[in-house]
């Protein structure tokens, strides 16, 4: 029976470990560098790690599929069974969580207790190297061994990662969700026993340290983001970096600097739901920006739409009003990008449509009919008075064949 110490080789591992260090798994020398939301191993690191490690063990599923010939019924052609996607363990130390993926799909998510700041869990790319039921623990300070049972800190399952670092159960369940170990990753006993039954020798393990996580909620594809505390002091996070990560999911314009600043200050790991994103098409052509649904309202990029249908578009910031060749409607300035509501695209651009079966927001041209949509009388008089004092020329796009000034377009639209 193997004895586990969970700390004896931690220092040597962090200096000479065989697995490549991920972009998200920074050490203290790298702590000032920004970290990507989703870390991917560089090809050369992954190759080097594979060369030093033993070949992966064949999973039971793969072995069974190889051993059994395809079955046939009568003269029907043999049915080829679809190969199941492989499993992968992905651990985010900043989030204190372990996710199990089948291909790109997250199938399990468990809380864990990683190493303390003084004995941090090493980041990198590894694989399951050993599995053991009822392991024995050896105290790294005293050398005293504790056999399996209620007093054993390893619980009843051990999944070896590298050297004396592993994933295991615990006799101290209150520690889960904190940084408590000598470098191992503790789990609730029921969780580690389930994980143990699912993974095999050779299952890949990715350990990262990502304070910012952006993903789509599995229930309805709403983009949600989290910012976790910097327990190891390895990763600083800036507002602009968070905006870039959100922009990668198409919602960068829908979260203000103030909201992000507040979330960074809190760094509590709680979810913030932003909105749903739909690829935007006009007359069959994909536009650069997306449609975004937030708080029950769907916003569309106004300038993109104007360029797509060759319509002049102006912006009256004091009235929060978009003015096109065809009409006017309420506008929204989100980080210097103008949006309109989906219900106003007919008025502004003579377009109509909505979300299709592929979850695309698709618009097409409709008959050129002018829709009456005047400003309230008080705002109209205010706008006309300002136009007499000083002509507004808030040109944003000039894709139309019309050569009328935007003031002329506005005055015609408000008659």
Q: Phi, psi (5° rounding) for residue 318?
A: -70, -30
Strand partners, 88: 101
**Backbone torsion region of residue 296, taken as left when φ is above 0, otherwise alpha when ψ lies between -120 and 50, otherwise beta:** left
Q: Where are the beta strands (DSSP E) in 28-181?
A: 87-92, 97-102, 105-111, 124-127, 130-133, 136-138, 145-146, 157-162, 165-168
Distance (Å) of CA 85 to CA 104, 203, 225: 9, 12, 27
The residues, ordered by sequence, that sit 6+ positions from 259 with a Cβ below 8 Å of its Cβ are 272
Active site residue 152: no
The sign of the torsion formed by the CA atoms of 138, 139, 141, 142 equals: negative
Three-state DSSP state, 87? strand
Strand partners, 109: 99
With b meaning 16 or more CB within 10 Å and e meaning fewer, what string describes 370-384? eeebebeeebeeebe
Query: What does the DSSP 8-state code read for residue 175?
Result: G
Closest CA to 319 of 267, 273, 383: 383
Calpha distance 76→73 (Å, rounded): 6
Strand partners, 165: 162
The strand pair at 395-397 and 313-316 is best described as antiparallel
Residue tagged active-site, from 6, 152, 168, 243: 168
Residue tagged active-site, from 6, 152, 182, 184: 184
Calpha distance 9→345 (Å, rounded): 64
Closest CA to 334 of 227, 207, 246: 246
The answer to whether the CB of 163 falls within 8 A of the CB of 5 is no
Neighbouring CB atoms inside 10 A of 93's CB total: 27
Active site residue 360: no
The residues, ordered by sequence, that sit 6+ positions from 189 with a Cβ below 8 Å of its Cβ are 155, 156, 157, 169, 170, 173
Residue numbers annotated as active site: 168, 184
């Amino acid at each position: 029976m193997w004895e586990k110490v969970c700390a004896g080789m931690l220092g040597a591992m962090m200096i000479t470990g065989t697995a490549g260090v991920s972009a998200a798994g920074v050490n203290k020398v790298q702590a000032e560098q920004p970290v990507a939301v989703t870390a991917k191993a560089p090809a050369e690191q992954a190759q080097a790690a594979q060369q030093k490690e033993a070949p992966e063990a064949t999973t039971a599923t793969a072995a069974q599929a190889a051993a059994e010939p395809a079955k046939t019924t009568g003269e029907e052609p043999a049915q080829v069974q679809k190969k199941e996607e492989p499993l992968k363990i992905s651990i985010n130390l900043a989030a204190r969580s372990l996710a199990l993926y089948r291909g790109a799909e997250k199938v399990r998510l468990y809380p864990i207790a990683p190493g303390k700041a003084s004995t941090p869990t090493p980041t990198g790319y590894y694989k399951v190297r050993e599995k053991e039921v009822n392991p024995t623990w050896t105290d790294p300070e005293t050398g005293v061994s504790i056999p399996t049972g209620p007093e054993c800190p390893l619980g009843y399952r051990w999944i070896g990662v590298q050297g004396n670092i592993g994933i295991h159960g615990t006799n101290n369940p209150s520690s889960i969700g904190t940084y408590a170990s000598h470098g191992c990753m503790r789990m609730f006993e029921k969780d580690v026993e389930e994980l143990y039954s699912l993974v095999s020798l050779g299952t890949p393990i990715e350990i990262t340290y990502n304070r910012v996580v952006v993903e789509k909620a599995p229930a309805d594809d709403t983009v949600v983001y989290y910012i976790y505390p910097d327990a190891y002091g390895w990763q600083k996070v800036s507002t602009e970096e968070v905006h870039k990560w959100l922009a990668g999911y198409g919602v960068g314009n829908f979260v203000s600097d103030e909201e992000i600043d507040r979330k960074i200050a809190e760094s509590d790991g709680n979810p913030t739901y932003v909105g749903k994103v739909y690829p935007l098409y006009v007359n069959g052509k994909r536009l650069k920006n997306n449609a975004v649904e937030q708080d029950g309202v769907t916003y569309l990029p106004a300038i993109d739409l104007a360029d797509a249908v060759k319509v002049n578009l102006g912006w009256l910031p004091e009235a929060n009003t978009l003015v096109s060749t065809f009409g006017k409607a309420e506008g929204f300035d989100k980080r210097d990008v103008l949006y309109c509501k989906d219900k106003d695209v007919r008025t502004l651009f003579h377009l109509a449509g909505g979300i299709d079966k592929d979850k695309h927001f698709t618009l097409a041209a409709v008959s050129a009919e002018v829709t009456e949509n005047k400003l309230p009388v008080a705002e109209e008089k205010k706008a006309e008075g300002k136009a007499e004092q000083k002509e507004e020329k808030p040109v944003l796009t000039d894709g139309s064949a019309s050569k009328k000034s935007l003031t002329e377009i506005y005055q015609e639209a408000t008659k």
